[in-house]
């Protein structure tokens, strides 16, 4: 890196103190770049996902190294996160326009812009920033959007989807470099004509602090706790998780803990009450630390994705979190997520992932404490070797250095 301290503009709809993989990824990129003496400015929103009231609680504002003077936050007119696709599109467009307005207030002093997508509308604002600030643009792709919209089958307007695909193609062409958090995205992009040498892989990762606070003494004697954390949205096969819980209702030793937020929360609460699933506890969204503590106290961790082609390219962030605290994983997943669990030998993923198979897999782990321990240790070892921000941030740093050679 040159002796001059490089100035980086991070653009993201999600950022600290919000929960979720996107905000956590961007927070850690910010912190790692700051530690390596980069001058970093962030353009983002006031925290609002899954609801803005959460962030009145000071427990979410627990990162002392974030300098709020370096964070530009905008406050959209749509205050709450909505399940309505129309409201979301209006929000995305407003955020894009508000970001562009802020960009025109900035000086032309940035060495690189790092913009994360989805939503792709933030990427469009990034393209405007590239032109306005006369600098390079690194596009960070965390999900294939709009491909994932078609995967959950909630949005079928051909004109808007066609427009979104054209925007996606434009972003891939105009970005100076592209970073992805899943290796499987590379094949998709090269099939769209993106040169492979333009793409770099930087997975979601763990901090040294997270990796050093992973031990928990299991003091439960007669119960096995299965935990699910994170989004209860359209991409997660929550209905099957409930079917699994119903099938295990008579297994008095098995309990389920769900810590989540998203589209299916109310539906899930209703099903738990209607079916009298007293062995299932549903928690509202919690801070990352509180969530990780709950995972650490559990016995088995559960992950699921809808069986659609686009989701075979995804690695849910919760898998990495489960590895961090040495939990064996039951995976209702295919593709890249299954490949990682299998490679790390940190859990059980069935061939067809039927309800019966998932029940059998949970019972297999419930009855074998040594197997749970071995799989958990394997996951932690894999995470320590491959999923540390301290080493993976070098992917971004090398990309920035290549750009400025």
Domains and CATH numbers, the chain: 7-205+388-403 (3.40.50.2000), 209-386 (3.40.50.2000)
Task: Return the bridge partners of 228, or none.
Answer: 258
Task: Return the bridge partners of 74, or none.
Answer: 45
Confidence of residue 155 (pLDDT cuts 50, 70, 90): low
Per-residue pLDDT at 263 exceeds 90: no
Per-residue pLDDT at 2 exceeds 50: no
pLDDT in tens, 3-30: 567 999 999 999 999 999 999 999 999 9
Secondary structure element (H or E) that encloses residue 185, with its range: helix 184-191
pLDDT in tens, 48-105: 988 899 999 999 998 989 999 999 999 998 877 666 777 888 999 999 999 999 999 9
Which pLDDT value is given to residue 330?
Answer: 98
Per-residue pLDDT at 221 exceeds 90: no
Which pLDDT value is given to residue 66?
Answer: 95
Task: Return the bridge partners of 304, or none.
Answer: 332
pLDDT in tens, 223-237: 999 999 998 877 788
Per-residue pLDDT at 1 exceeds 50: no
Task: Pick from 46-55, 198-207, 288-297, 307-316 the range whose average pLDDT is largest.
Answer: 198-207
pLDDT in tens, 102-136: 999 999 999 999 999 999 999 999 999 999 999 99
Where do runs of H (alpha helix) occur along 196-347? 208-212, 238-247, 265-274, 288-296, 317-324, 335-344
CB 119 within 8 A of CB 99: no
Q: What is the distance between the alpha carbons of residues 256 and 251, in angstroms, rounded to a whole number?
A: 11
CA 238 to each of CA 44, 213, 255, 263: distance values in angstroms, whole numbers, following the listed order: 30, 29, 16, 10
CB 285 within 8 A of CB 259: yes
């Amino acid at each position: 890196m040159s002796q001059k301290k490089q100035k980086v503009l991070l653009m993201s709809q999600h950022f600290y103190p919000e929960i979720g993989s996107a905000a956590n990824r961007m927070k850690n990129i910010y912190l790692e770049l700051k530690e390596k003496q980069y001058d970093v400015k962030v353009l983002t929103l006031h925290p609002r996902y899954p609801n803005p009231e959460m962030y009145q609680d000071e427990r979410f504002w627990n990162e002392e190294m974030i300098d709020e003077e370096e964070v530009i936050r905008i406050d959209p007119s749509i205050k709450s996160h909505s399940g309505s696709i129309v409201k979301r599109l209006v929000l995305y467009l407003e955020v894009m326009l508000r970001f562009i307005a802020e960009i025109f207030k900035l000086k032309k002093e940035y060495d690189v812009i790092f913009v994360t997508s989805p939503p792709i509308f933030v990427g469009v604002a990034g393209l405007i920033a590239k032109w306005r600030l006369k600098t390079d643009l690194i596009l960070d792709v965390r999900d294939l959007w709009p491909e994932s919209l078609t995967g959950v089958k909630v949005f079928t307007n051909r004109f808007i989807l066609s427009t979104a695909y054209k925007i996606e193609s434009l972003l891939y062409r105009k970005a100076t470099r592209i970073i992805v958090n899943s290796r499987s995205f590379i094949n998709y992009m090269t099939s769209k004509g993106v040169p492979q040498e333009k793409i770099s892989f930087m997975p979601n990762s763990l901090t040294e602090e997270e990796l050093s606070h992973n031990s928990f003494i299991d003091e439960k004697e007669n119960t096995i706790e299965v935990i699910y954390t994170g989004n209860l949205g359209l991409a997660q096969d929550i209905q099957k998780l409930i079917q699994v819980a119903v099938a295990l209702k008579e297994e008095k030793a098995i309990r389920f803990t769900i810590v989540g937020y998203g589209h299916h929360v109310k539906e899930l609460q209703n099903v738990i009450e209607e079916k009298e699933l007293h062995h299932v506890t549903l928690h509202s969204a919690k801070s990352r630390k509180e969530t990780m503590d709950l995972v650490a106290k559990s016995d088995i961790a559960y992950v699921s994705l809808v069986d659609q082609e686009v989701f075979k390219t995804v690695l849910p962030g919760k898998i990495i979190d489960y590895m961090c605290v040495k939990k064996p994983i039951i995976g209702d997943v295919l593709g890249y997520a299954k490949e990682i669990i299998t490679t790390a030998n940190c859990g059980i993923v069935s061939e067809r992932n039927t309800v019966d198979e998932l029940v059998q897999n949970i019972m297999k782990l419930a009855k074998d404490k040594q197997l749970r321990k071995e799989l958990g240790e394997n996951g932690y070892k894999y995470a320590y070797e491959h999923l540390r921000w301290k080493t993976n941030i070098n992917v971004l740093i090398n990309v920035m250095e290549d750009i400025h050679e």
